[in-house]
Amino acid sequence: MQALLKPSGTALLTLLLSASICAQAPKTTTPPSHTQALLGVWNYEGNKLIAMAEDFPEDKYDYKPNSTQRSFAEQLLHAAGGNYFLINPAKGMKPPTGDPKRSDFKSKAEIVAYVRKSFAAGAELIKAKGDKGLDDVIPDGESGEPVHFGDSAWGWVVHSGEHYGQLVVYYRVLGMVPPESRPRK
């Protein structure tokens, strides 16, 4: 029992070095603003989906793990199209009436451009709203009920993350490694 209470020399050295490094790390005086935090995760999730859209082989864009699921391309279009359930109502426009149709996008390049455009438009809107605009009341893009812009935006970030997770499965079932899971250079 006594041996368990005595730290080893290596453990003690590690603890002391960690404390020293933490003490030397620059201290931040203020956290990011609410807009900066939202924009950071919006872009993070969007960039993961864009990387997948660019990386996945075009000849596999219509792949489905099973017949009842969306194809890879349809998943991307659904996730990116969801952004317009935030963007359109916030701009006083009607939300989409459903998912973008795969038949309207003939190539991988068109889908990549659509995914990029939807996340860029959302990021632009979040920046334009700023911290005060996060409390703006807009109609929810799905139900029409009043919702705060910021709350809706966070919801669509989660939506993007859910579809990223689904698309990881498409990669893995095909024996591929998603861009985000590859070793960093």
Spans of all domains in the chain: 32-180
What is the mean predicted confidence (pLDDT) over 13-33? 59
pLDDT value at 152 more than 60: yes
For 128-138, the pLDDT digits (tens) are 999 999 999 99
pLDDT value at 144 more than 50: yes
Q: What is the mean pLDDT of the chain?
A: 89
CA distance 21 to 15: 10
pLDDT value at 5 more than 60: no
pLDDT value at 4 more than 60: no
Q: How confident is the model at residue 6 (pLDDT cuts 50, 70, 90)?
A: very low
Domain 32-180 in CATH 1.20.120.450: yes
CA distance 54 to 167: 13
What is the mean predicted confidence (pLDDT) over 167-182? 96
Q: What is the pLDDT of residue 29?
A: 84
| CA-only gyration radius of the chain, Å | 22
For 157-170, the pLDDT digits (tens) are 999 999 999 999 99
Residues in CB range of 48: below 8 A, 6 or more apart: 164, 179, 180
